[in-house]
């Protein structure tokens, strides 16, 4: 089943303007499928994957000769395993700045890895492909709204006009449990999903990581991955993690950076631009996919999550993933952060575009009351908010005052 990817149009637009386009994202999110689809279209490029041992050795052994023989336009899949290719690509595109020469894919942010010294600054457009969004899983060729729309409208009524159909709480919970990796998201049974996620972690640790970075303790690295994902939605405390795993703090920091660079976790920064000392400064850590986080927690059903006290964190993880997918397709850039005081006031997500901001709370239940806006109201006292939104598991769009609205998760993201 071939599903649309909302980022495709933006990637094709970048190919028309930049010599190099880099498409990054975690393993198995669909980068290869999308790159092949783009290559087979009007751009009409050759395709080479460095997962092929022969291609990989040729690219590593003589990257300049490899590129000369391959020609352009060219798709190079999983380029992070031959990082010297970036230097060779720079040499070639500096000879001619014609757009659309190379589409690179990587299961790591190759521009952030320590082994990569060539940034291709000014020559490359970078796009991040995440797991499938709910609207993509529903077959929509474009999302119903982008953040450009959200920052354009001015009233909850106008906001409601952007929304999609409402699904019941069972559908929302199933979407959170399944996540957005294509294979498990479309799997017919929970058992198939569980086996896929277990194999995914094993392959990532045993095959991908040795290709990308020198890791002294692969077993400890896997334990760190599992610990971080089990702590999804919490503040990152590297010192605590290092003690739990018996690692030096410097090593633990390096491992966390690698997990973030390979999109297994997301480090969400605190809201910046505010000098108040009472605000938390540490980032929050989230699993890269709610389905993977559910599987690693051992949860097969929503009741399992509730018994383990993880339902709220998993719903929050899923909402962050959906917000990131919307942020990737708008015409203007937005930033996503969180806000939290040492006294415990918190807003899950703050989306900023220039001087404007929207606050978003994620609540997995089917009901919302005024108390659920307490953190948003506290933030609004120091940072004006265009909207205060509570995304929840219910079925009704409910206004709670000027600029305040509770929106069903399905209507918001479908």
Residue 188 pLDDT grade (very low, low, confident, very high; cuts 50, 70, 90): confident
Give the pLDDT confidence of 70-109 residue by residue, as tens digits: 999 999 999 988 888 999 999 999 998 899 999 999 888 7
Mean pLDDT over residues 283-311, rounded?
A: 94
Which positions ≥6 away from 157 have C-beta within 8 Å? none
pLDDT for res 372: 96
pLDDT for res 18: 95
pLDDT for res 180: 97
pLDDT for res 112: 67
What whole-number distance in Å separates Cα of residue 63 and Cα of residue 70? 10
**Cβ atoms of 14 and 21 closer than 8 Å:** yes
What whole-number distance in Å separates Cα of residue 250 and Cα of residue 4? 41
Reduce the DSSP state of residue 343 to 3 states and report it: coil
pLDDT for res 328: 92
% of the chain residues with pLDDT over 90:
79
Mean pLDDT over residues 193-203, rounded?
A: 93
Strands, E assignment, 277-410: 284-287, 335-340, 346-353, 356-363, 387-392, 398-399, 404-408
Residue 391 pairs in a beta bridge with 362, 407
Report the alpha-carbon angle 267-272-276, nearest 5.
125
Q: Which two tokens stand for residue 197?
A: 């996620």
Residue 276 has pLDDT above 60, yes or no: no
**Cβ atoms of 404 and 375 closer than 8 Å:** no
DSSP code at position 271: P
Average confidence score pLDDT of the chain? 92
Residue 115 has pLDDT above 90, yes or no: no
% of the chain residues with pLDDT over 70:
96
Domains of the chain by residue range: 8-129, 135-413
Q: Is the pTM of this model over 0.85?
A: yes
Residue 371 pairs in a beta bridge with none
Assign a CATH topology to domain 8-129.
Rossmann fold (3.40.50)
pLDDT for res 113: 58
pLDDT for res 111: 66
Residue 344 pLDDT grade (very low, low, confident, very high; cuts 50, 70, 90): confident
pLDDT for res 279: 76
């Amino acid at each position: 089943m071939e599903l649309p990817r909302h980022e495709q149009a933006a990637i094709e637009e970048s190919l028309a303007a930049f010599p190099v386009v880099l498409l990054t994202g975690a393993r198995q999110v669909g980068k290869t499928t999308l790159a092949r689809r783009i290559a087979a279209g009007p751009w009409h490029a050759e395709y080479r994957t460095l997962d092929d041992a022969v291609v990989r050795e040729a690219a590593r052994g003589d990257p300049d000769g490899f590129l000369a023989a391959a020609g352009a336009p060219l798709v190079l899949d999983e380029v992070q395993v031959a990082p010297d290719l970036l230097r060779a690509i720079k040499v070639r595109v500096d000879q001619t700045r014609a757009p659309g020469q190379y589409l690179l894919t990587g299961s790591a942010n190759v521009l952030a890895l320590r082994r990569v010294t060539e940034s291709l600054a000014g020559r490359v457009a970078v796009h991040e492909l995440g797991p499938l969004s709910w609207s993509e899983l529903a077959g929509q060729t474009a999302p119903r709204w982008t953040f450009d729309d959200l920052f354009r409208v001015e009233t909850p009524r106008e906001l409601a006009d952007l929304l999609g159909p409402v699904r019941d709480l069972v559908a929302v919970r199933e979407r959170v449990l399944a996540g957005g990796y294509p294979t498990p998201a479309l799997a017919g049974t929970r058992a198939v999903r569980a086996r896929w996620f277990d194999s995914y972690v094993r392959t990532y640790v045993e095959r991908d990581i040795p290709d990308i970075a020198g890791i002294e303790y692969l077993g400890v690295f896997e334990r760190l991955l599992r610990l971080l994902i089990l702590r999804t939605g919490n503040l990152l405390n590297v010192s605590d993690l290092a003690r739990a795993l018996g690692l030096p703090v410097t090593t633990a920091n390096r491992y966390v950076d690698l997990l973030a660079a390979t999109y297994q976790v997301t480090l969400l920064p605190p809201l910046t631009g505010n000098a108040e000392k009472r605000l938390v400064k540490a980032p929050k850590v989230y699993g890269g996919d709610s389905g993977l986080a559910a599987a690693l927690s051992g949860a097969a059903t929503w009741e399992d999550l509730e018994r383990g006290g993880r339902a709220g964190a998993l719903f929050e993880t899923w909402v962050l993933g959906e917000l990131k997918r919307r942020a990737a397709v708008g015409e203007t850039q937005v930033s996503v952060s969180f806000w939290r005081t040492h006294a415990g006031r918190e807003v899950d997500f703050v989306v900023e575009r220039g001087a404007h901001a929207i606050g978003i709370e994620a609540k997995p239940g089917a009901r919302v009351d005024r108390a659920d806006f307490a953190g948003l109201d506290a933030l609004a006292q120091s940072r004006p908010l265009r909207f205060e939104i509570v995304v929840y598991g219910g079925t009704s769009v409910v206004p709670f005052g000027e600029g305040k609205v509770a929106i069903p998760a399905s209507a918001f993201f479908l």
